[in-house]
Homo-oligomer: A and B are copies of this chain.
């Protein structure tokens, strides 16, 4: 259900199951993990999007939920499959941008939150709906939600389960940028023009900081080492010889 294209430095991964409003079936989470890893090996930045101008992701595929009503082992498999897909996407070393142009519901919000940056277009609509169905939301994703929007907005979104649009998502911090697909492209191009080793180190620094880490020896070593990587020398030369 994923369509991956590599355009030079930019990988474009699209959820592509329009007949189910891009709902992700159990088998989809492994596909997401595989596609994310393939993208990380082939490009400098990833844009993850849904139907162009339309639905981003309707969530987990509830047509498969009947099995979960009766089979406890299936529930654990379901939970772990989601975790594997989302954590793999989150941990690939290249920057990731989610472009949300339409509905983004339930586990679809967790897919968007597994990316580093979210661009919400004017048609975007977000809702986190497990309380409507009588189920829960993975702790890891609640934690990610709280670190993006704070405990109060997380409570509002999870307990009320009501929808918000792209402007509201940007206001509360569920999206970093409220703009259209062109803004996601421009951001991806800017990122792709930056140094790949810097990006890898900085992405890891943000990840650590979000877990509360303010000091880290690996980051100190990377900070020192990058001065000798050759990229700085080259970029300083280019900077100094630029036309003014």
> Which residues of A are at the interface with B, using a C-beta cutoff of 8 A?
62, 65-66, 68-70, 72, 75-76, 79, 95, 116-118, 130-140, 142-156, 158-162, 172-173, 175-177, 187, 190-191, 193-195, 197-199, 201-203, 205-216, 219-220, 222-224, 226-229, 231-236, 239
Contact A209 B151 (CB under 8 A): yes
- Residues from chain B with Cβ under 8 Å of A152 in the complex: 116-118, 148, 173, 175-176
Contact A198 B235 (CB under 8 A): no
Contact A158 B206 (CB under 8 A): yes
Q: How many copies of the chain does the oligomer comprise?
A: 3
Grouping DSSP codes into helix (H, G, I), strand (E, B) and loop, the A interface class, with mixed when no group exceeds half, is: helix
In whole Å, how far is A100's beta carbon from the nearest beta carbon of chain B? 13
| Complex partner residue of A138 from B69, B75, B223, B235, CB under 8 angstroms | B223
In whole Å, how far is A132's beta carbon from the nearest beta carbon of chain B? 6
In whole Å, how far is A6's beta carbon from the nearest beta carbon of chain B? 19
12 contacts between A and B (CB under 8 A): A62-B239, A79-B220, A118-B152, A131-B202, A132-B195, A134-B229, A136-B222, A137-B205, A139-B213, A144-B214, A147-B209, A156-B176
Smallest CB-CB separation from A173: which chain B residue? Answer: B150
